[in-house]
Structure 1
């Protein structure tokens, strides 16, 4: 049974060596109880394997002699780190995070390289007058027609992101008739329209999803998300598209290759 002295305990490295690195431990060696529990749950998750169901909060509280609130806090951190995921009414061990390169490549190509099955579900393909700021990124005058393509991103049937693409209608006049919404947009531009990609500028930041975005991606509104803004040009240096992609922070990491 938990006691009033549960808030912190002397830190002890588990015998299996699966504890967090020493850099995360205060010099006095005392850590919050939930952190102590979290360190002991890591080998349990590894033993269960991907997709393995976690014991209930009550069972964990009894096994480790802590309160259920301590269990909830430890599980919240493991969920945010992507080690766990919700499945139905329970919690299961998550697979490794998807690594997406910060490069001018499609989401489809990046997911397939990791042996996962990419997918997309269309939310909407609409036509609007381009506002001034966006028009500059698309290389058209303000008020000229543009496409807004919005899709939910999947990896192995799991919702992992939300993608919004903006493109001048003059670039793809028949987009609403020719393009298959569940396919690669970049492949369509290259193979159907003969577009050569040149360069892109990307900005990455951490945000919280709006209630609408959280609903579409299937995550709690408080889950940190990784947001990428991209403005790309074709092989002739002409503005091509503007993309806004929201990725689940618990399911994605990003890599970039640097040359010295």
Structure 2
């Protein structure tokens, strides 16, 4: 077996004896323990970091929390976090009205250039930054949120409180790298793999509710779906 594989296996075994928050041995110590070059250890540590098994904390490294698993469903991020016993939170980045370009206008069934509400928020789980969410809503339908909605709370709960019910949604997820701005907001780096989610939600009458573009840290979030036989 190759040395990188053996080192990775040894680090996996080491992780099995530790719990969340425990300090993880530094690169120099691991290289001396296993008698390999620091570059070999560095690569294995980088893989564990990308996978969300360990995380940097200050000048050291600790065992990370398990990833927040989000359901691919019409449930909100808040519901997914609470289901895993995590405390959801949000930080408002921007909230403004913009003229909808042609593709967004078509997705929201409004006229080209019509004003739409754009809400950008950082998503938190137990205080950790896990995602950056950009939501577009038809202004003629949800303009009243300016006076009633607290952007640090659940948007889906606020939408449902108006009497609107979610009927269906189309989602696409792809792997991307963050821009410098996105990485900064997520307290990450441009080298960390991210998961970008695109969602268009409709109400029970088939009328568009929202278009969402969200970026999630690949080391802190995973998605799951429940599948059934369609026959």
Q: TM-score, normalised by structure 2?
A: 0.96
Aligned counterparts, 1:147-226, within 5 A: 147-191=117-161, 193-226=162-195
Q: 1:259 aligns with which of 222, 228, 231?
A: 228
Is 74-83 or 46-55 further displaced after alignment? Answer: 46-55
User: Using the alignment, how far apart are the partners of 1:136 and 1:61 within structure 2?
Assistant: 56
Q: CA deviation at 1:162?
A: 0.6
User: Using the alignment, how far apart are the partners of 2:228 and 2:33 within structure 1?
Assistant: 50
Higher relative contact order (CA 8 A, sep 6+): 2
Q: Which residue of 2 aligns with 1:250?
A: 219
Deviation track 1:164-219 (CA, whole Å, cap 9, x = no partner) reads 1001111111222221111000000111x211111110011111111111111111
Aligned counterparts, 1:1-260, within 5 A: 30-31=1-2, 33-191=3-161, 193-260=162-229
The gaps in structure 2 that reach 5 residues or longer are none
Larger radius of gyration: 1
Q: Secondary structure at the match of 1:233?
A: strand
User: Using the alignment, how far apart are the partners of 1:60 and 1:189 within structure 2?
Assistant: 51
Confirm or deny: 8 A CA contact 1:125 1:176 kept in the other structure.
Answer: no
User: Using the alignment, how far apart are the partners of 1:177 and 1:203 within structure 2?
Assistant: 32
Confirm or deny: 8 A CA contact 2:117 2:143 kept in the other structure.
Answer: no
Confirm or deny: 8 A CA contact 1:137 1:240 kept in the other structure.
Answer: no
How large is the Cα RMSD of the aligned pairs? Answer: 1.0
The gaps in structure 1 that reach 5 residues or longer are 1-29
Q: CA deviation at 1:104?
A: 1.1
User: Using the alignment, how far apart are the partners of 1:232 and 1:166 within structure 2?
Assistant: 11
User: Using the alignment, how far apart are the partners of 1:94 and 1:35 within structure 2?
Assistant: 22
Report how many aligned residue pairs link the two structures: 229
Is 74-83 or 39-48 further displaced after alignment? Answer: 39-48
